[in-house]
């Protein structure tokens, strides 16, 4: 039986990086006989230009029918001035909500070949192997908001953060289960010294933890966590946190690995899950064929692992990425003297050959 994959390239470098990942998937398909079938759909600024909206119903419907979704990136300055409700970013937010993608897994592992690229000293960067479990369909991203109102004679805007107990239970369970398969440590990140939502988060996490006595639980305030990620990132195994804190901490954690272009993510849904690199659409380098496709290629590996349960093929892609880097193949973001500078497509071909 064929697997149905919806590919959403999106905007900016989205097309180049999803083309690269599909090339690698095709190599894995050939080797492991997976029978992958691809359907391409529009979303983001590209969809706004064509249909006047960032997430056409047809795109969402196709995703609901699919076994998995591979997503590039959306956004760009070109659409900075469109109505906030129609911004390209609304496409990914709409997909998250529409597919119930409640958990975003962002693994950060520093490849030995890339230790020198970390902005941290090698002795701090070496051995980092953590995963951020970010709540993805709640919190301040999806609370009520007001773009502008007059209050006591001055203009103001507001965004509301709320979390319910079931929302926190669902995401923290997944974090404990993830930790159980790893090194058995969860760090829950909040701002419980100030925010009511964080105090509910902390109480609920502790209740859920009672069911996972073999996992160690630690709480950290988000400001302290941000600092710990910079001074001793190897201490972390699983970090679980809300939508906004997870957005910020995952970019910080990503850069520890040398390039944000390397980092994959899986957004786990009730049915269909979606896979995307954590970087954005990088309009400044779009169309030049120089983007680093590794984050998207590794996202495709996560797709094979979590949605299709094709573990061997997923392993093969991850090993191939590591091997390609060890062989000295580098896109511009990671290139330096003595290495082989390649385009996005050449990097993909190198990984595909290795698979």
Residue nearest Mn ion, Cβ-based: 247
Helices 14-32 and 311-326, axial angle in degrees (round to 10): 120
251 as an active site residue: the answer is yes
For the bound state, the minimum distance from the C-beta of residue 104 to ligand IPM, rounded and expressed in Å, comes to 7
Say whether residue 190 binds Mn ion (CB under 5 A): no
For the bound state, the minimum distance from the C-beta of residue 89 to ligand IPM, rounded and expressed in Å, comes to 4
Tell which one of 29, 247, 318, 333 touches ligand IPM (CB under 6 A): 247
d(C-alpha 59, C-alpha 151), whole Å: 40
Tell which one of 247, 276, 318, 333 touches Mn ion (CB under 5 A): 247
* Contact mark string toward ligand IPM, 33..72, x via CB under 6 A: ----------------------------------------
- Containing H/E element for 40? strand 36-40
**Partner from ligand IPM, Mn ion, none contacting 92, C-beta within 5 to 8 A by type:** ligand IPM
| Alpha carbon 48 to its chain's center | 23
d(C-alpha 310, C-alpha 299), whole Å: 14
Q: Which of 41, 90, 97, 191 is catalytic?
A: 191
Say whether residue 346 binds ligand IPM (CB under 6 A): no
Cβ atoms of 43 and 74 closer than 8 Å: yes
Nearest Cα to Cα of residue 12 among 327, 352, 339, 285: 285
Tell which one of 36, 69, 92, 174 touches ligand IPM (CB under 6 A): 92
| Cβ-count burial 228-266 (b if 16+ within 10 Å, e if not) | bbeeebeebbbbbbbbbbbbebbebbbbbbbbbbbbbbb
Among left, alpha and beta (phi > 0; psi -120 to 50; other), residue 153 is: left
d(C-alpha 274, C-alpha 94), whole Å: 12
Between 82 and 93, CB nearer to ligand IPM: 93
For the bound state, the minimum distance from the C-beta of residue 323 to ligand IPM, rounded and expressed in Å, comes to 28
Residue nearest ligand IPM, Cβ-based: 89
Between 229 and 317, CB nearer to Mn ion: 229
Tokens of residue 212, six digits: 């996972």
For the bound state, the minimum distance from the C-beta of residue 93 to ligand IPM, rounded and expressed in Å, comes to 6
Q: Which of 48, 102, 141, 275 is catalytic?
A: 141
For the bound state, the minimum distance from the C-beta of residue 236 to Mn ion, rounded and expressed in Å, comes to 18
**Partner from Mn ion, ligand IPM, none contacting 16, C-beta within 5 to 8 A by type:** none
327 as an active site residue: the answer is no
Sheet holding 68-73, edge to edge: 36-40, 3-10, 68-73, 274-275, 266-268, 103-109, 129-135, 238-241, 185-190, 216-221
Say whether residue 89 binds ligand IPM (CB under 6 A): yes
247 as an active site residue: the answer is yes
Number of residues that bind ligand IPM (CB under 6 A): 6
Cβ atoms of 95 and 43 closer than 8 Å: yes
Strands 238-241 and 129-135: parallel
Tokens of residue 244, six digits: 């906004």
163 as an active site residue: the answer is no
Question: Which chain residues interact with ligand IPM by CB under 6 A?
Answer: 75, 89, 92-93, 247, 278
Question: Which chain residues interact with Mn ion by CB under 5 A?
Answer: 247
Q: Which of the residues are catalytic?
A: 141, 191, 223, 247, 251
């Amino acid at each position: 039986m064929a697997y149905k994959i919806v590919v959403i390239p999106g905007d900016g470098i989205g097309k180049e990086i999803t083309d690269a990942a599909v090339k690698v998937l095709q190599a894995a398909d050939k080797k492991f006989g997976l029978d992958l079938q691809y359907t391409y759909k529009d979303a983001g600024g590209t969809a706004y230009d064509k249909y006047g909206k960032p997430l056409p119903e047809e795109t969402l419907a196709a995703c609901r029918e699919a076994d998995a979704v591979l997503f590039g990136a959306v956004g760009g300055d070109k659409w900075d001035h469109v109505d906030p409700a129609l911004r390209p970013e609304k496409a990914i937010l709409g997909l998250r909500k529409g597919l119930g993608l409640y958990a975003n897994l962002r693994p950060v592992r520093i490849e030995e070949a890339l230790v020198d690229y970390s902005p941290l000293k090698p002795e701090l960067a070496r051995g980092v192997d953590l995963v951020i479990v970010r709540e993805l369909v709640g919190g301040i991203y999806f609370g009520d908001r007001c773009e502008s109102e007059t209050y006591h004679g001055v203009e103001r805007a507001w965004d509301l953060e709320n979390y319910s107990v079931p929302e926190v239970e669902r995401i923290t369970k997944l974090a404990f289960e993830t930790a159980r398969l790893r090194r058995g440590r969860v760090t829950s990140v909040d701002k419980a010294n100030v925010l009511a939502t964080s105090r509910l988060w902390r109480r609920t996490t502790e209740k859920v933890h009672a069911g996972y006595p073999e996992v160690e639980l630690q709480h950290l305030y988000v400001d302290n966590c941000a600092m710990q990620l910079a001074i001793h990132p190897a201490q972390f195994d699983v970090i679980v946190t809300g939508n906004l804190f997870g957005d910020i901490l995952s970019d910080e954690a990503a850069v520890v690995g040398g390039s944000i272009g390397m980092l994959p993510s899986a957004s786990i849904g009730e049915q269909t899950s979606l896979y995307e690199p954590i970087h954005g659409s990088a309009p400044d380098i779009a169309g030049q064929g120089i983007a680093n496709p590794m984050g998207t290629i590794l996202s495709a590996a996560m797709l094979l692992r979590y949605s299709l349960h094709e573990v061997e093929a997923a392993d093969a892609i991850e090993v191939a990425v590591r091997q390609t880097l060890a062989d000295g193949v580098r896109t511009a973001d990671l290139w330096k003297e003595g290495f082989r500078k390649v385009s996005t497509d050449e990097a993909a071909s190198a990984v595909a050959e290795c698979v």
